[in-house]
């Protein structure tokens, strides 16, 4: 009886083995598909394996590709300009980003690279190099969890303090009111520290009898010093109390559009008692008994 | 008078010499403080004190285990806005190649980069970028940080000078992110969040390199000295021993004391935080190509700018421009110009000078201004050579073209100018002013009347100005702002002279603005200027028929209208069309029509500024101005303008002007 049971079990085992063998032969494509890396879906990305698994790549891992610029390379890590260090797989493949084939480039500072991350291990399994910027594939948020850091991140009070600027271009319109005695044909300029304080850096357009304007784009967060001139520093703006102006300050905030309204009360070369008679008629009614030669 | 002029000349030269010595002293001081001398050795610099409770110091890279990530230090408060100290004062960069991109104000270094901070801290790496305006640098690739109390390998290091923070990616057993506060490399803040773009390397592809160098000495927010420097002059890079770049936020460095020129190429070659010396290669139609020199000496509240023009031509111009804000309510301004004719720098054959001084005192709701203008027709002592002229001996230097004129005309005035005040609830504002002064010339009379010469004149004046706000005549309710605006101003002034006579000036102007579209604006303005010189019973004596009038500036006598009796009128009608379709394109068309009495005199060819030009007396009856601006790149702007005079005097048609402007 026992002998029959043993034979039956052998037969059952043989049949099971035969079935398993047939089942494996019937679905070879399924096994091959499982071994091809494919971009991970978001559900998988949200539950990455622990970083401790970096040394043992998982055969079931998927691949995420991220493009960036190399800050440094070595010691089993590649560093990107985001400041992140990513572990390299022991068998990391270095190739050309354009062809996918071999490359003469070696990973180093300033080169651009497309890193392929095995989501199972979090390690970089392929590094495709280029001297030119590569198009984005996965976002930084998709890979930053693979970054290796010894310390536990904690907030930086320097960064949360004060207003944050996103650096987006903000069109800024400067609208300035000039003294009523400003000659109608005169040009008004904006002199800024960003233009080396050239007195004719940005020419403005007349809006009406008293106003000029110009629009320029600045990145938010820009701190601009500026003054108004009539084309030279000898004809720069003067405060209402007759004292030369200190530069005006503009801090460009995050906004879609900004209008800056200023008033110029006096010009430095303006003589309140010089009659506007064309300044050229050499007649005795010129209150200055001799003409002052212009020096600029 | 002769002795007085000579004394003035000596005093003036001493003043120039004093300013020059001050500048030299300043340059020397600046250099000794932060210039070419290498930073102090490491051993002589004490480490900065830790600002917070921190983990145990890391002595070197061989003891990374001492860093305990779990032991997160307390966060320090943000550092003061402008920390000082030698570490932040200046730093030096040495590399196989340093490139400076003037359009971006970014410095890039590659190959064996060594950055030496002011306290002796040395960071070596492969690649370096420094943003001059943001005052922060990043160095990356095989970093080694060596300070008095630390020796660490890393992948990248970034220094934010203005915040006194440094960010570091150490390469130890595993990478990490550290932050150094106040230069305390022994106590890093482990794991502290870093700014998102800390280690970004600027993309400079397509940017133009202004110069290449091997060493840069940076004085943050002030200047950089590149040694040596191969400067991009267009067709080729030209080697120079060094190049001094100033990018100070102090606008006084932009003050210009040089006369005008058709073209000017400046080269800063020496300087410091408060001084700058610039060599210029200039061109004008009279002197052609010639060198010039300009020196700035500035602080937050003062500047002195000295220039010497046409150094290689006999006729040289020396200018001095000075400003001092003595107190927030008191300022002094001076402009002194000496023109000398001489071969080389020997004793000149003739020398004249002009000086203008202005002292301004701010008052509550007004200000006072004391002005003094002096002419020195000849600064030199009277020569011994002379010829006998119609009115006696005429002295001259070497040849009669360098004649001796001892005149010293001058004017002093004290003016009071009130603030602009609103006129009740009306859309008007008014401004009052008054002045008194005196003019004097001991030799040549200022004026002659009835056979009497007047060498001294006093005057007093009052004036008032009434200005409207911008009034909306027709408001566009459609929301497209196609409004019609009106502005107007009325200015009235009377000036009494001791002669006696008085001058009345009345200026009335108005402008209409119609906005057709935010991009298209049409302006029309009209102005009427009436000037009357009242001599009473002596009117015909002062303004005889067919009188000629002498222009002191041009030295010309002009024949005005025989009907002119001292009462003139200028009427101008302007029409302008402003078209600004985008920030990159702008166009302006202006048509001007003038009706003047006495009628204007068409241009005569004269020496004006940097060359010969037509000088009109009065305005041409019709003038058309066209101007177009195109921005091709972020910094390149082309401005083309032309003026057309409609057969004024038969001399001119088009007066073209073409300029290429670099705008940042």
Residue B519 DSSP code: T
pLDDT tier, B297 (very low <50, low <70, confident <90, very high otherwise): very high
User: Across residues B645-662, what is the average pLDDT?
Assistant: 62
Quote the CA–CA distance of B156 and B141 in Å, as a whole number: 6
Quote the CA–CA distance of B334 and A1 in Å, as a whole number: 127
pLDDT tens digit sequence for A215-244: 888 888 888 999 999 988 989 999 999 999
Among all residues of chain A, which has the CA nearest to that of B332? Answer: A243
The CA-based angle B522-B523-B526, given to 5 degrees, is: 150
User: Across residues A255-278, what is the average pLDDT?
Assistant: 78
Quote the CA–CA distance of B269 and B278 in Å, as a whole number: 6
Instruction: Give the rounded distance of the alpha carbon of A196 from its chain centre.
Output: 25
Per-residue pLDDT at A62 exceeds 50: yes
Contact list, A229 vs chain B (CB under 8 Å): none
Question: How far B35 CA lies from chain A's nearest CA (Å)?
Answer: 22
Q: Is CATH 2.40.50 correct for A63-146?
A: yes
User: Please, are residues B113 and B94 in contact by the beta-carbon 8 Å criterion?
Assistant: yes
pLDDT tens digit sequence for B268-282: 888 888 999 999 999
Whole-number percent of chain B with pLDDT over 90: 35
Per-residue pLDDT at A96 exceeds 50: yes
Between the ranges A195-199, B144-148, B563-567, where is the mean pLDDT highest?
Answer: B144-148
How far CA B610 is from CA of A229, B230, B289, B657, in Å, comes to 21, 31, 12, 15
Q: Please name the member of A157, A198, A209 whose beta carbon is closest to the beta carbon of B75.
A: A157
User: Please, are residues B369 and B415 in contact by the beta-carbon 8 Å criterion?
Assistant: yes
Question: How far B523 CA lies from chain A's nearest CA (Å)?
Answer: 7
Specify the pLDDT at position B454: 82
Instruction: Give A228's strand partners.
Output: A190
Contact list, A152 vs chain B (CB under 8 Å): 69-70, 72, 191
Instruction: Give the rounded distance of the alpha carbon of B286 from its chain centre.
Output: 25
Quote the CA–CA distance of B334 and B322 in Å, as a whole number: 5
Interface of A with B in 34-63 (CB under 8 A): none
Residue B206 DSSP code: T
pLDDT tier, A289 (very low <50, low <70, confident <90, very high otherwise): very low
From A60-64, A113-117, A121-125, B600-604, the region with the lowest mean pLDDT: B600-604
User: Please, are residues A92 and A128 in contact by the beta-carbon 8 Å criterion?
Assistant: no
Q: End-to-end distance of chain A based on CA atoms, in angstroms?
A: 124
Contact list, A241 vs chain B (CB under 8 Å): 329, 362-363, 366-367, 419
Residues in Cβ contact with B171 at an 8 Å cutoff, skipping those fewer than 6 apart: A72, A74, A75, A77, B143, B153, B154, B155
Instruction: Give B411's strand partners.
Output: B373, B439
| Domain boundaries along the sequence of chain A | 63-146, 169-270
Among all residues of chain A, which has the CA nearest to that of B336? Answer: A295
Specify the pLDDT at position B651: 56
User: Across residues B467-476, what is the average pLDDT?
Assistant: 87
Per-residue pLDDT at B407 exceeds 80: yes
Specify the pLDDT at position B110: 95
**Kind plus residue range of the DSSP H or E element containing B10:** helix B2-34
Whole-number percent of chain B with pLDDT over 70: 78
- The pairing of beta strand A258-263 with beta strand A169-177: parallel
Pick the residue with more confidence: B655 or A42?
Answer: B655
Q: End-to-end distance of chain B based on CA atoms, in angstroms?
A: 52
pLDDT tens digit sequence for A12-44: 666 665 565 444 433 333 333 333 233 333 333
Specify the pLDDT at position B416: 95
Q: How many CB pairs under 8 A join A and B?
A: 335
Mutate to test the interface with A, among B104, B105, B155 (most CBs of A within 10 A): B155
User: Across residues A106-112, what is the average pLDDT?
Assistant: 93
Quote the CA–CA distance of B460 and A274 in Å, as a whole number: 13
Per-residue pLDDT at B316 exceeds 80: yes
Pick the residue with more confidence: B514 or B606?
Answer: B514
Mean pLDDT value across chain A: 75
Q: What is the 3-state secondary structure (H, E, C) of B307-322?
A: EEECCCCCEEEEEEEE
Burial of B493 (0-12, 13-18, 19+ CB in 10 A): buried
- H-type helices in B388-471, by residue range? none
Contact list, B168 vs chain A (CB under 8 Å): none
Specify the pLDDT at position B67: 31
Per-residue pLDDT at B445 exceeds 90: no
Between the ranges A19-23, A26-30, A248-252, B170-174, where is the mean pLDDT highest?
Answer: A248-252
User: Please, are residues A138 and A64 in contact by the beta-carbon 8 Å criterion?
Assistant: yes
**Kind plus residue range of the DSSP H or E element containing B29:** helix B2-34
CB contact under 8 A, B467 and A180: yes
User: Across residues B125-145, what is the average pLDDT?
Assistant: 94
User: Across residues B252-260, what is the average pLDDT?
Assistant: 88
Contact list, B417 vs chain A (CB under 8 Å): 242, 266, 272
Complex ipTM value = 0.76
Q: Look at chain A and count its residues.
A: 296
Specify the pLDDT at position A161: 53
From B104-108, B165-169, B379-383, B459-463, the region with the lowest mean pLDDT: B379-383
Whole-number percent of chain A with pLDDT over 90: 35
pLDDT tens digit sequence for B66-80: 333 333 333 333 333
Determine the 3-state secondary structure of B23 from DSSP: helix
Exposure string over A200-229, b if 16+ CB within 10 A, otherwise e: bbbbbbbbbbbbbbbbbebebbbebbbbbb
Quote the CA–CA distance of A150 and B140 in Å, as a whole number: 20
- Cα atoms found within 13 Å of the Cα of residue B628, Cβ hemisphere only: 4
Quote the CA–CA distance of B280 and B303 in Å, as a whole number: 20
Specify the pLDDT at position B661: 57
pLDDT tier, A81 (very low <50, low <70, confident <90, very high otherwise): very high
Rounded to 5 degrees, φ, ψ at B107 are -110, 135
Tokens in use for A57? 């790549």
pLDDT tier, B237 (very low <50, low <70, confident <90, very high otherwise): very high
Specify the pLDDT at position B13: 56
Pick the residue with more confidence: A78 or B599?
Answer: A78
CB contact under 8 A, B411 and A289: yes
User: Across residues A118-122, what is the average pLDDT?
Assistant: 88
Quote the CA–CA distance of B141 and A110 in Å, as a whole number: 9
Tokens in use for A191? 């002199």
From A179-183, B133-137, B218-222, the region with the lowest mean pLDDT: A179-183
From A188-192, A270-274, B160-164, the region with the lowest mean pLDDT: A270-274
Per-residue pLDDT at B664 exceeds 50: no
Quote the CA–CA distance of A29 and B159 in Å, as a whole number: 55
From A23-37, B419-433, B590-604, the region with the lowest mean pLDDT: A23-37
Within 10 Å of residue B648's Cβ, how many Cβ atoms?
21
User: Across residues B195-217, what is the average pLDDT?
Assistant: 90
pLDDT tier, A120 (very low <50, low <70, confident <90, very high otherwise): confident
Contact list, B176 vs chain A (CB under 8 Å): 149-151
Within 10 Å of residue A119's Cβ, how many Cβ atoms?
24
Q: Give which of B8, B472, B251 is closest to A247, Cα–Cα.
A: B251
Quote the CA–CA distance of B639 and B626 in Å, as a whole number: 11
From A276-290, B85-99, B581-595, B640-654, the region with the lowest mean pLDDT: A276-290
pLDDT tens digit sequence for B481-504: 678 889 999 999 998 988 788 888
Sign (positive/negative) of CA torsion A196, A201, A202, A208?
positive
Quote the CA–CA distance of B542 and B534 in Å, as a whole number: 9
Contact list, A272 vs chain B (CB under 8 Å): 415, 417, 433, 435, 463
pLDDT tier, B209 (very low <50, low <70, confident <90, very high otherwise): very high
Q: Do domains A63-146 and A169-270 have the same CATH topology?
A: no
Q: Going along B223-349, which residue ranges are E strands?
A: 223-232, 237-240, 243-246, 263-271, 275-284, 288-298, 302-309, 315-327, 330-341
Q: What is the 3-state secondary structure (H, E, C) of B100-131?
A: EECCCCEEEEEEEEEEECCCCCEEEEEEEEEE
pLDDT tens digit sequence for B31-47: 333 333 333 332 222 22
Tokens in use for B601? 């005199």
How far CA B635 is from CA of A28, A193, B103, B262, in Å, comes to 63, 14, 7, 21
A111 has a chain B CB within 8 A of its CB: no
Mean pLDDT value across chain B: 79
CATH architecture, domain defined by A169-270 = Sandwich (2.60)
pLDDT tier, A171 (very low <50, low <70, confident <90, very high otherwise): very high
Per-residue pLDDT at B401 exceeds 50: yes
User: Please, are residues B103 and B208 in contact by the beta-carbon 8 Å criterion?
Assistant: yes
User: Please, are residues B194 and B168 in contact by the beta-carbon 8 Å criterion?
Assistant: no
Whole-number percent of chain A with pLDDT over 70: 70
């Amino acid at each position: 009886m026992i002998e029959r049971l043993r034979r039956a079990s052998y037969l059952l085992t043989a049949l099971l083995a035969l079935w398993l063998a047939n089942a494996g032969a019937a679905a070879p494509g399924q096994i091959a598909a499982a071994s091809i890396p494919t971009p991970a879906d978001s559900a998988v990305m949200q539950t990455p394996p622990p970083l401790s698994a970096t040394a043992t790549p998982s055969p079931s891992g998927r691949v995420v590709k991220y493009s960036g610029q190399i800050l440094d390379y070595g010691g089993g890590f590649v560093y990107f300009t985001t400041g992140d260090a990513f572990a390299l797989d022991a068998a990391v493949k270095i190739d050309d980003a354009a062809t996918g084939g071999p490359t003469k480039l070696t990973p180093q500072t300033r080169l651009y690279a497309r890193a392929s991350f095995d989501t199972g291990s979090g390690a970089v399994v392929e590094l495709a190099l280029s001297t030119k910027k590569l198009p984005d594939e996965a976002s930084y948020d998709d890979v930053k969890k693979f970054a290796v850091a010894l310390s536990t991140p904690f907030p930086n009070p320097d960064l949360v303090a004060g207003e944050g600027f996103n650096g987006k271009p903000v069109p800024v319109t400067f609208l300035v009111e000039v003294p009523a005695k400003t000659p109608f044909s005169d040009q008004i300029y904006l002199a800024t520290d960003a233009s080396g304080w050239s007195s004719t850096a940005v020419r403005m357009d007349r809006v009406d009898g008293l106003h000029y304007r110009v629009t320029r784009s600045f990145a938010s967060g820009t701190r601009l010093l500026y003054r108004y001139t009539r084309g030279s520093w000898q004809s720069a703006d003067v405060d209402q109390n007759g004292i030369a102006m200190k530069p005006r300050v503009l801090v460009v905030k995050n906004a879609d559009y900004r209008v800056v309204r200023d008033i110029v009360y006096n010009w430095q070369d303006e003589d309140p008692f010089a009659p506007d008679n064309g300044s050229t008629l050499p007649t005795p009614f010129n209150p200055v008994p001799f003409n002052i030669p212009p020096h600029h | 008078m002769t002795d007085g002029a000579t004394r003035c000349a000596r005093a003036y030269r001493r003043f120039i010499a004093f300013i020059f010595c001050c500048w030299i002293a300043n340059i020397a001081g600046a250099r000794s403080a932060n210039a070419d001398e290498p930073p102090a050795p490491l051993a002589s610099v004490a480490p900065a004190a830790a600002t917070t409770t921190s983990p145990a110091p890391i002595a070197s890279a061989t003891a990374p285990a001492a860093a305990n990530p779990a032991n997160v230090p307390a966060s320090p408060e943000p550092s003061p806005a402008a920390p000082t100290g030698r570490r932040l004062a200046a730093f030096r960069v040495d590399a196989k190649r340093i490139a400076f991109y003037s359009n971006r104000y970014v410095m890039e270094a590659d190959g064996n980069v060594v950055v030496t901070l002011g306290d002796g801290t040395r960071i070596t790496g492969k690649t370096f970028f420094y943003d001059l305006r943001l005052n922060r640098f990043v160095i990356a690739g095989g970093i080694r940080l060596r300070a008095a109390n630390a020796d660490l390998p890393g992948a990248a290091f970034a220094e934010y000078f203005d915040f006194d923070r440094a960010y570091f990616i150490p390469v130890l057993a595993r990478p990490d992110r550290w932050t150094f506060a106040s230069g305390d490399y022994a106590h890093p803040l482990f794991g502290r969040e870093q700014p998102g773009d800390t280690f970004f390397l600027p993309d400079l592809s397509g940017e133009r390199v202004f110069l290449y160098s091997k060493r840069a000495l940076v004085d943050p927010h002030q200047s950089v000295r590149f040694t040596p420097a191969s400067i991009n002059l267009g067709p080729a890079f030209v080697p120079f021993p060094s190049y001094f770049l100033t990018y100070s936020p102090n606008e006084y460095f932009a003050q210009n004391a040089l006369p005008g020129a058709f073209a000017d190429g400046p080269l800063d070659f020496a300087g410091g935080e408060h001084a700058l010396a610039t060599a210029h290669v200039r061109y004008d139609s009279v002197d052609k190509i010639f060198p010039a020199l300009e020196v700035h000496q500035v602080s937050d509240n003062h500047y002195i700018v000295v220039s010497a023009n046409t150094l290689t031509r006999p006729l040289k111009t020396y200018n001095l421009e000075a400003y001092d804000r003595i107190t927030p309510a008191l300022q002094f301004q001076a402009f002194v110009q000496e023109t000398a004719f001489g071969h080389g720098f020997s004793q000149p054959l003739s020398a004249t000078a002009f000086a203008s001084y202005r002292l301004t005192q701010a008052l509550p709701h007004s200000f006072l201004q004391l002005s003094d203008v002096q002419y020195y027709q000849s600064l030199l002592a009277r020569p011994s050579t002379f010829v006998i002229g119609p009115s006696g001996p005429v002295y001259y230097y070497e040849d009669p073209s360098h004649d001796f004129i001892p005149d010293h005309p001058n004017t002093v005035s004290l003016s009071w100018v009130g603030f602009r005040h609103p006129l009740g609830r009306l859309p008007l504002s008014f401004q009052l002013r008054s002045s008194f002064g005196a003019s004097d010339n001991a030799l040549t009379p200022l004026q002659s009347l009835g056979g009497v010469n007047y060498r001294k004149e006093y005057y007093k004046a009052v004036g008032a100005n009434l200005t409207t706000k911008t009034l909306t005549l027709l408001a566009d309710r459609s929301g497209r702002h196609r409004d019609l605006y009106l502005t107007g101003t009325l200015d009235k002034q009377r000036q009494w002279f001791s002669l006696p006579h008085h001058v009345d000036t009345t200026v009335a102007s108005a402008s209409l603005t119609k906005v057709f579209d935010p991009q298209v604006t049409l302006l029309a303005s009209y102005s009427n200027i009436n000037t009357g010189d009242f001599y009473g019973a002596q009117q015909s004596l002062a303004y005889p028929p067919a009188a000629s009038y002498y222009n002191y500036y041009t030295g010309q006598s002009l024949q005005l209208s025989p009907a002119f009796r001292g009462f003139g009128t200028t009427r101008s009608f302007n029409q302008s069309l402003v078209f600004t379709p985008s920030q990159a394109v702008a166009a302006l068309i202006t048509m001007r029509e003038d009706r003047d009495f006495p009628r204007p005199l068409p241009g005569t060819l004269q020496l004006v500024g940097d060359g010969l030009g037509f000088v009109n007396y009065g305005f041409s009856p019709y003038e058309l101005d066209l101007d177009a601006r195109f921005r091709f790149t972020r910094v390149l702007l082309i401005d083309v303008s032309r003026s057309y005079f409609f057969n004024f005097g038969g001399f001119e048609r088009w007066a073209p002007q073409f300029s290429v402007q670099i705008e940042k």
